[in-house]
Amino acid sequence: MLDSGAQQINPVEVKKPPVKRWLKPPLGWVKLTIDGSFKSDDGSAGIGMVLRDYAGTTIFSACRSLASCEQALEAEVSACLEGPELGLLYSDLPIVVESDCSQLISYILANEKDRSAYLHSISEIKVLASGSKICNFVKVDRSQVRISHCLANLARAENRTQFWLGSGPECIVQVLESESLVIPSD
């Protein structure tokens, strides 16, 4: 029996970090968010990407299943190779590429020669960026690439490769529309 004078202990409140939302690119730019998905128990992998303009309008979204992948970073690198190439095809504006993978971004931004297993892919990304309108690679919070993450998971889970011009699959259309209301980053 509890003593009526005993102080009750409140359960500890777990504070969740604030969700960071996708921000529009600066005026005159487009923003490409990319992500990779990898499941180690079966080796399935996929990539996802979405390109949007200053108004938040989707230029394209895409996902692709990866036939062979050995780790999560490999999926991230694949997304960073394919996404910017598509971005350059569908926009003449400078591109900000956003990823939630700090290791990928650090490899791309490093001044010293890359010695990782992804040497050739990282070199290819750097060459593509140096001769094009890809001006910035930015590490962002996972919540800011959630559409690309959903697309990568869709590709991985359903072994699916698809491209949507001006939209996306029904499962992300509402999220795309709600995110287009976010204020610009400039």
What is the tens place of the pLDDT at every residue in 47-99? 999 999 998 889 999 999 999 899 999 999 999 999 999 999 999 999 999 99
Domains contained in the chain, CATH given? 30-179 (3.30.420.10)
Kindly tell me if the per-residue pLDDT of 128 is higher than 70. yes
Which residues lie closer than 8 Å to 22 by C-beta, 6 or more apart?
33, 144, 145, 146, 147, 179, 182
Distance CA 180, CA 172 (A): 12
Predicted local confidence at residue 19, as pLDDT? 66
Distance CA 64, CA 151 (A): 8
Predicted local confidence at residue 48, as pLDDT? 97
What is the tens place of the pLDDT at every residue in 145-160? 889 999 999 999 999 9
Phi-psi region of 73 (alpha: psi -120 to 50; beta: other; left: phi over 0): alpha
Distance CA 67, CA 145 (A): 23
Which residues lie closer than 8 Å to 81 by C-beta, 6 or more apart?
121, 124, 125, 128
With H, G, I as helix, E, B as strand and everything else as coil, classify residue 88.
helix
